[in-house]
A and B are shown apart, each in its own frame.
Chain A
Amino acid sequence: MESRKAWEMTGKFPGLADVSISQDIPVEGEITVPVGSHSPDEDFSTLDEPVKDTIMRDLKAVGKKFVHVMYPKKSSALLRDWDLWGPLVLCVSLALMLQGGSADSKDDGGPQFAEVFVIIWFGAVVITLNSKLLGGTISFFQSLCVLGYCVMPLTVAMLVCRLVLLAGAGTVSFIIRLIVVGAMFGWSTLASTAFLADSQPPNRKALVVYPIFLFYFVISWMILTFTPQ
């Protein structure tokens, strides 16, 4: 009762004195949190399904991500369920295709594969660390996933270059290769920027885009200067 008088006497909250809760009324209710019904069968279902289902599910996820890279829109599907199958396949195929170029003796073919592999993964790790240090909100493997998948246009460019080089190695073929590799390089950079730049504070996008540009530039340069023996 004294508190009520104190409230009224301050004059600040004249009407609110009626709303004060008395201390005699017990608080009652239920404190149970409704849990979604997880039947124990659902947790083990992925173990019991046939192998074909598992493989098809993973392949579909990888395929969906490839489509996302081809038409880069701002979607979160690529980021949410990251996987590294696509980057691995792309990296190995690119390294295999780049092997054996500009080699003097046959033991120079070995380092070429390891070189490309190391460049792609080391470069992706450095870009990820850089974007995290600049204040990015994306996680380590999500960023690796995006950068790996965006190597796909450059792998396509490598295929085209090899086919063009089968026809001949003159100035015309160099110009064709330059145009193709340049276009794919721009596509890769734009695709990865569309996914990665959103996770940065807005005034620092340029700081994150530059290393990505450099990374794809180095890979494009390796593809462009590839000459088969």
Chain B
Amino acid sequence: MENMDDTSGSSFEDMGEMHQRMKEEEEEEAEGEAGAGEEEDGEFLGMKGLRGQLGRQVADQMWQVGKRQASRAFSLYANIDILRPYFDVEPVQVRARLLESMIPVKMINFPQKIAGELYGPLMLVFTLVAILLHGMKTSDTIIREGTLMGTAIGTCFGYWLGVSSFMYFLAYLCNAQITMVQMLSLLGYGLFGHCITLFVTYNIHFHSLFYIFWLVVGGLSTLRMVAVLVSRTVGHTQRLILCGTLAALHMLFLLYLHFAYHKVVEGILDTLEGPNMPPFQRVARDIPVVSNAILNTTAKAIALTL
């Protein structure tokens, strides 16, 4: 199913429509046979029962129309088979795409292929939720209104779906050749870099390490997404708008995830207890005390500014 990435516009709503129309034709044949039987019974009533008969038929028809519309809407949007083509992947393909998402492409004059697949992005979003939970628990984040799980799921899914929709809207304005599924897929695979960075830096608590990872890993995955988008857009201003927005949002999201859900309590402890070993530094045993002090002061400064 590699030929699915074209923007030839057959969306899943069209597929659902065709499916529904075929089902309706079968239903109408069955109904036609049943309806013929009913009409023969009605004629026996004669003039007296005509008004009641008419009313009943009208009510019947309205019920049928309403039921048909409701079932059409239901089977269009609740039909799981619509999503089946987007989950048609092999494990080898998923692994290849994960690795590719960190490698920026060089050919930006030729539209790059994007696989319209939703399994990988969905699993990456759930993995990010799990990593976020881990980070929130280890840093004792207290959520006043709402729950830990709800916040993590809301943040990750909100980012994936919201930013994808916003970028799709911008792409529509800037005449870029990309569909919604492709945008979802691209952004989803771009979260792989976020997952790696957060997994490493929630366990090894150095701010300089985080900044290095932010620039290198986050930067690589952003460059990849930007390059693919640039290859699909014409015109300098449009390219600048799209890629600038995507790069800014993607990098700022990583920054936000690190600082909002991984509060540095070390600055507060330092002022309360004096120069003891703060708990989050028990992982680092071989770093000399001097660099610890430097890290402490930088972390305190950042915590104060936030």
Contact = CB atoms under 8 A, between A and B. Distances in A.
B130 interface: yes
Contacts of A133: 80, 83-84, 87, 119
Contact of B130 (A112, A135, A218): A218
A204 B133 contact: no
B115 to A, nearest CB: 15
B147 A130 contact: no
Contacts of A203: 90-91
Interface string A93-114: 0000000001010000001101
Given A129-B80, A203-B91, A225 B127 contact: no
12 contacts: A114-B147, A115-B147, A115-B150, A129-B80, A130-B87, A130-B122, A135-B88, A210-B123, A211-B126, A214-B126, A214-B127, A225-B138
B147 A111 contact: yes
Interface in B123-182: 123, 126-127, 130, 133-134, 137-138, 140, 142, 146-150
A68 interface: no
Nearest to B127: A214
A119 B149 contact: yes
A204 B84 CA distance: 14
Interface in B64-83: 80, 83
A134 B148 CA distance: 30
A134 B84 CA distance: 7
Q: Which A-B residue pairs are the 5 nearest by beta carbons?
A: A133-B87, A111-B147, A206-B91, A225-B137, A115-B147
B89 A207 contact: yes
Nearest to A122: B153
A102 B138 CA distance: 12
A114 B148 CA distance: 12
Given A207-B119, A210-B123, A211-B126, A115 B149 contact: yes
B141 to A, nearest CB: 11
Given A134-B87, A204-B91, A207-B91, A214 B149 contact: no
A114 B146 CA distance: 11
A221 interface: yes
Interface string B220-236: 00000000000000000
B87 A111 contact: no
B94 interface: yes
Q: Which of B91, B134, B142, B149 has the most CB of A within 10 A?
A: B149
Contacts of B83: 133
Contacts of B123: 210-211, 214
B181 to A, nearest CB: 14
A132 interface: yes
